[in-house]
Amino acid sequence: MASDVMETMALLSGRHFVDGELIPGSGIRHRLIDPATERSCGEYADATAEEVELAVGAASRAQREWWAMSALDRTAALHEVAARLEAGAARVGECLTREMGKPFRESHWEGGAAASSFRYYAELARHDQGRVAGPAIAGQVHLTMKEPLGTVVSIVPFNFPVLLFGWQAAAALAAGNAIIVKPSELTPLTILMLMEAFAGLPSGLVQTLTGGSAVGQMLVAHENTHAVAFTGSVPAAQAVARAAAERFKPTLIEASGNDPFIVMPSADVNLAARGGAFAAFLNCGQVCTSAERFYVHTDVFDEFVERLAAEARALRVGSGLDDVEIGPMASERERDRLEAIVQRAVTQGARVVCGGARPVAPGVGWFFEPTVLEVEHSFDIMHGECFGPIAPVCRVGSLDEAIDLANDSNVGLGANIYTEQLDEAFRAINEIESGIVWVNTPLNDNDAVPFGGRKFTGSGRELGAEGLEQFRRSKMVMIAPRAEADPEWFPYPDDDGYRAVMGDASL
């Protein structure tokens, strides 16, 4: 681990990044707790109204400078950001592991994945600034031009702060915007440390204000912010959407997932169990696209449950700075919430196959064992996002039943199916009500393919060309190469043809 990371975390504590500089926050300060050790690892300050004004003003100035640059210069600058993200991935990754607990391998990966998004959008925006339409008037040029929205507010969660901010910032900056990020109260120092990657951009183009929901509300409501990208809970997303709608600000919202994972008899059960363990337990289950509801055909149900439990038992639990697969939950409240979820499932009749409690070791930290439960679809656990390392498995008798139960949810982000039958795969693709379907390949994504969901999952798309469009507006432009009178102008000529159409009607 980088020896200077904790020193840098101390330096960043209680600060904001505004107009290219770290400034001391003047608002209320809060302690940050390392979830693996339960020791303090820093603090953050609530941004004040005055600090919000400073940031928004700086963003407006920087955005005008950024958009005045050539597309080639913006592309080169974004590639430099990508290189800095890669160079700083280890330091930022250690900070993230100390703040929210995930294994360092996963934290380190986020920096490289964010860099990939910057490289993708740097090139996409360079080659896509609008289109030429066939003119409706001979001799003219008719265009659709693409323009930035202005200043984007990014409110990112604790579970993948580097990756998700990377997705949003890459698209927003490539489109010509400035961006102000309000990180989660659990991972503010990670985002502040990430600001080093944007050192070559105009001061104020990328800024960080820390704090709670009140800071987000001020940013969303400000008259000089122009779009909002939000990832979080459904109730919080609804509040953001309402506030933005009152001001006609476009929103990109990813609110929740409760992803099904279907296993059919034709599947390689061993691979399905390994894939299921990865989909359910990655980042201690704190993934919006985690496999939350397993629907396994009765012909392979017992074998799958046995193999999934074996995978779960083999996972190493401990500090994310050690060689482990499962770190702690990000907060004590989250760990306690999981205990209540399992207890409720057991009360309703669930069988605990493995896990279901705090591990005996290490004895400190907010850890929860990887858990496999046998359940019925009617149990509460199948109708709400666990957001933890819990895999509830339900027996089904057919693909029809599996799809029906998969669709019995008010959210629709992702869905998985393991099958070797092409017809089953295409039925799942076409019939499951989700924005993403993975066939035999859980949790993969692609910078060039849009990511998002249906129902109460949210609105809009990240990644792909669609992700760029979230942060641009279209302008219709019509150019006549020389000025000349149009025959449709006033005064209207006397025209017997119109009078013939009108007949005897009085004008």
Q: Which amino acid is at 329?
A: M
- Same-domain pairing of 184 and 66: yes
CATH number at 399 reads 3.40.309.10
- Same-domain pairing of 351 and 271: yes
Q: Which residue stretches of 398-507 are H helix?
A: 399-406, 422-431, 464-469, 496-502
CA-to-CA distance for 250 and 228, rounded, in angstroms? Answer: 7
- Same-domain pairing of 314 and 232: no
Specify the number of domains making up the chain. Answer: 2
Active site residues: 254, 288
| Separation in Å, CA 340 to CA 110, 287, 356, 368 | 31, 19, 10, 12
CA-to-CA distance for 50 and 31, rounded, in angstroms? Answer: 22
Please, which residues have CB within 8 angstroms of residue 6's CB and are 6 or more apart in sequence? 41, 98
498 part of a folded domain: no
| Three-class secondary structure of residue 131 per DSSP | strand
Please list, residue by residue across 80-111, b when 16 or more beta carbons sit within 10 angstroms of its beta carbon and e when fewer do. bbbebbbebbbbbbbbbbbbbbbbbebbbbbb
The pair of structure tokens assigned to 285 is: 């289950």
CATH number at 172 reads 3.40.605.10
- Same-domain pairing of 465 and 396: no
The pair of structure tokens assigned to 173 is: 């900056």
Question: Which DSSP string corresponds to 179-191?
Answer: EEEE--TTSHHHH
- Same-domain pairing of 201 and 52: yes
Q: What is the pLDDT along the chain (507 residues), one digit of tens a residue?
A: 657 999 999 999 999 999 999 999 999 999 999 999 999 999 999 999 999 999 999 999 999 999 999 999 999 999 999 999 999 999 999 999 999 999 999 999 999 999 999 999 999 988 888 999 999 999 999 999 999 999 999 999 999 999 999 999 999 999 999 999 999 999 999 999 999 999 999 999 999 999 999 999 999 999 999 999 999 999 999 999 999 999 999 999 999 899 999 999 999 999 999 999 999 999 999 999 999 999 999 999 999 999 999 999 999 999 999 999 999 999 999 999 999 999 999 999 999 999 999 998 888 999 999 999 999 999 999 999 999 999 999 999 999 999 999 999 999 999 999 999 999 999 999 999 999 999 999 999 999 999 999 999 999 999 999 999 999 999 999 999 999 999 889 998 887 677 777 765 555
Q: What residue numbers bound the domain in which 129 lies?
A: 5-255+460-472
220 part of a folded domain: yes
380 part of a folded domain: yes
CA-to-CA distance for 485 and 489, rounded, in angstroms? Answer: 7
- Same-domain pairing of 416 and 288: yes
